[in-house]
Amino acid sequence: MILNDKNFEQEISQAEKPVLVDFWMNNCLPCDLISPVLDELSGEFGEKLIFAKANFNDIPSVLQKFGINAAPTIVIFEKGKPIDGFIGLKEKDEFKEWLYEKLLLIEYHNYAEEKGFFLNPDKKITDNIIKGLVKKEKELGQRFCPCRRVTGEEEEDKKIICPCAYHLKEIEENGHCLCRLFVKNI
């Protein structure tokens, strides 16, 4: 998808999936270097995410609105709002992990919204919990709650796959789940 000042708002706000936007400019070596990485990642994440490009020359109003003044700038949008982003290059594996974490964050945000509670508004806490979930998934094959012990007993351990079997009761009683990923009020 190619974005410009005329179509940006509509395309981003009406997208059925999150949108990763590559804000780039002509004669920018880092932009040229990140482009093939984005092409590869679009093959891996294309079912979960829309990949879009926006040339600085075609999108000055959007650049001003979001304070973007360096290229390449990568931003993920969900329901028309920026979720997170970065400036410059990342190695493919680092970019892939960053992207996976952001998609997981969006997944849990949507889950919380559906259930009538929120993700913890403290970005540092939320990012650390997401990183912990990804680490457990890599090591143990499941996104086990980072604040609970994995026992090795399959039936018991199923209860602690995030969102765990205990989180709803904890949110109701304490205003948050044990690890504080989900909170009742913000």
Residue 104, in any domain of the structure: no
pLDDT tens string 5-47: 999 999 999 999 999 999 999 999 999 999 999 999 999 998 9
Q: In terms of residue numbers, what domain contains 22?
A: 2-90
Residue 109, in any domain of the structure: no
Q: Is 31 a catalytic residue?
A: yes
Please spell the DSSP secondary structure of 57-111, one letter per residue.
Answer: GG-HHHHHHHT--SSSEEEEEETTEEEEEEES---HHHHHHHHHHHHHHHHHHHH
Q: Is 28 a catalytic residue?
A: yes
Q: Are residues 9 and 55 in the same domain?
A: yes
Q: Are residues 86 and 145 in the same domain?
A: no
Please say whether the beta carbons of 34 and 72 come within 8 A. yes
pLDDT tens string 74-109: 999 999 999 999 999 999 999 999 999 999 999 999
Residues 109-115: what's their mean pLDDT?
94
